[in-house]
Structure 1
Amino acid sequence: MKRVENVAFVVPVYNEAQVIGGVIKEILEHCPVVVCVNDGSKDTSASEIVKAGGYLVDHPINMGQGAALQTGIEFARLLPGVEKFVTFDADGQHRVDDALAMLELLDTADVDIVLGSRFRGRTEGMSTLKKAVLKMAVRFTNFTSGVKLTDAHNGLRAFNRHVADTIEITAPDMTHASEIIELISRNGYTYVEAPVTIDYTEYSVQKGQPVLNAVNIAVDTLLRKVSG
């Protein structure tokens, strides 16, 4: 069984008590460090994180996934021996095998960040409407950021210490995905995409963001561009 020893998985968590323990245990089979940011959950996510063996970092209130990722990256940077980082969703959509392949690519392609792409890989259970909205989001983000990708809002990423030390995610909510791509351009990070599989289970679909949020993300992105 393949293991990586200098890697931290960063997992934002909000009301994921039902599944987070299993996600952590699967990661720990391959990597000793899982940093979970409990983002003001109202369920028993915190105790499930501790029980499963993850590092627990608490936000006393819900601050949004972008803020949770930034907190988790900052915490993981302080852990001894950690040189690579993976952002990983808590709802079971991502596959650890994909993350391990991305970590290999991070080295062999000699880039700063590897971005998972479901459109270079495959999806299980994604609706036609969801696919259409995500495709439109890709075109919009490519236009506004100047970074050319096939998947703009995939939470599975692997990156090196340079990115972890210099990235500053200021968008607290789901617009952070667009902001990260803008930061790739602004900070000059080298990047490549990797094919991944996204599993849309009944649970993850229920927990997922409404399609209308794509409009909110687009508006927030434009406002950020204007103010910036």
Structure 2
Amino acid sequence: MMAAKSKYQYWVIIPAFNEAKTLSVVLEKLNKSRVAYVVVDDGSSDATFEIAKKYTTHALQHKINLGKGAALKTGCEYAFTRLNADGVIFFDADDQHEVAEIALFEHALQEHDVVFGVRSFDEHMPLIRIMLNRVASFFLMVLFGTYIPDIPSGFKALSKKAYKKVSWNSTDYAVEMEIAARVAKAKLDFVTVPITTIYHELDRGMTFIDTLRILLRALSWRISL
């Protein structure tokens, strides 16, 4: 495990839905780096779960597709209750993230409750993605008084303490915004770390309509959280 020199135990949580094309590549890299991880197959119709079982004994499965937020929660509950984790790191199954950068999150978790991965807003990031990210960050700042530069990024980490305070209700991709809102509302200590992201041709990022729906939900969280 990458954090072997640390007194803390961190587990990587990988939500996966129909990721058979990339999952084996990701898990091969994680195994070579000796990273401890849990894969949660979110009701895939392809071979995602079968692939996960070939690489780890910590492969969980939803019988039906419940959404990314639900898959992350299943993984967190398993890591904290069954594996005695001190913290969890969220890592996408589509081979967009660098395995070597997991160490940045492990190190930061030793000093902070929450760690947000922040991508470079350069020419490699689609313009629409940059615009939607800016809008999400602006809304969070207006509603909760906290600025987080890359809310939609799936590469983030939570301590056990933080998870208890931000445990979310969103089952879909709104989970990213809800976590940020709950972190802000609870005034948890967070830090950002720079990350590398590879954008694939079949990238399934949020659309403008998805973002609009999530921002409308954020308005309700301002009252209910």
- Same-fold status (TM-score > 0.5): yes
Show the counterpart of 1:104. Answer: 107
Verify the 8 A CA contact 2:153 2:176 in the aligned structure 1: yes
Which segment is superposed worse, 186-195 or 78-87? 78-87
Instruction: For 2:85 and 2:223, locate their aligned partners in 1 and report how far apart those are by CA, in whole Å.
Output: 36
Q: In proportion to residue count, which structure has more strand?
A: 1
Instruction: For 1:142 and 1:27, locate their aligned partners in 2 and report how far apart those are by CA, in whole Å.
Output: 35
Q: CA deviation at 1:123?
A: 5.7
Show the counterpart of 2:3. Answer: 4
Instruction: For 1:85 and 1:123, locate their aligned partners in 2 and report how far apart those are by CA, in whole Å.
Output: 28
| Structure 1 residues 124 and 106, CA gap change in structure 2 (3 angstroms) | farther
Which segment is superposed worse, 132-141 or 42-51? 132-141
Verify the 8 A CA contact 1:12 1:36 in the aligned structure 2: yes
Within a 5 Å distance, the mapping from 1:158-177 to structure 2 comes to 158-177=157-176
- 1:18 aligned counterpart, secondary structure: helix
- 1:202 aligned counterpart, secondary structure: coil
Instruction: For 2:48 and 2:32, locate their aligned partners in 1 and report how far apart those are by CA, in whole Å.
Output: 20
Within a 5 Å distance, the mapping from 1:178-193 to structure 2 comes to 178-193=177-192
Matched, 1:224 2:218: no
| Structure 1 residues 224 and 77, CA gap change in structure 2 (3 angstroms) | same
| Structure 1 residues 123 and 97, CA gap change in structure 2 (3 angstroms) | farther
| Structure 1 residues 167 and 30, CA gap change in structure 2 (3 angstroms) | farther
> Normalized against structure 1, the TM-score is what?
0.88
Q: 2:48 is aligned with what amino acid?
A: S
> Normalized against structure 2, the TM-score is what?
0.89
Q: CA deviation at 1:181?
A: 1.0
Aligned pairs, how many? 221
Gaps of 5+ in 1: none
Q: 1:190 is aligned with what amino acid?
A: D
| Structure 1 residues 185 and 209, CA gap change in structure 2 (3 angstroms) | closer
| Structure 1 residues 43 and 86, CA gap change in structure 2 (3 angstroms) | same
Within a 5 Å distance, the mapping from 1:202-217 to structure 2 comes to 202-203=201-202, 205=203, 207-217=204-214
**Which whole-Å deviations, capped at 9, do the CAs of 1:136-176 have from their partners, x for residues lacking one?**
22111222232211112111112222123443110111111
- Measured on the aligned residues, the alpha-carbon RMSD in Å equals 2.0
Matched, 1:91 2:78: no
Q: 1:14 is aligned with what amino acid?
A: F
Show the counterpart of 1:200. Answer: 199
Matched, 1:116 2:117: yes
Gaps of 5+ in 2: none
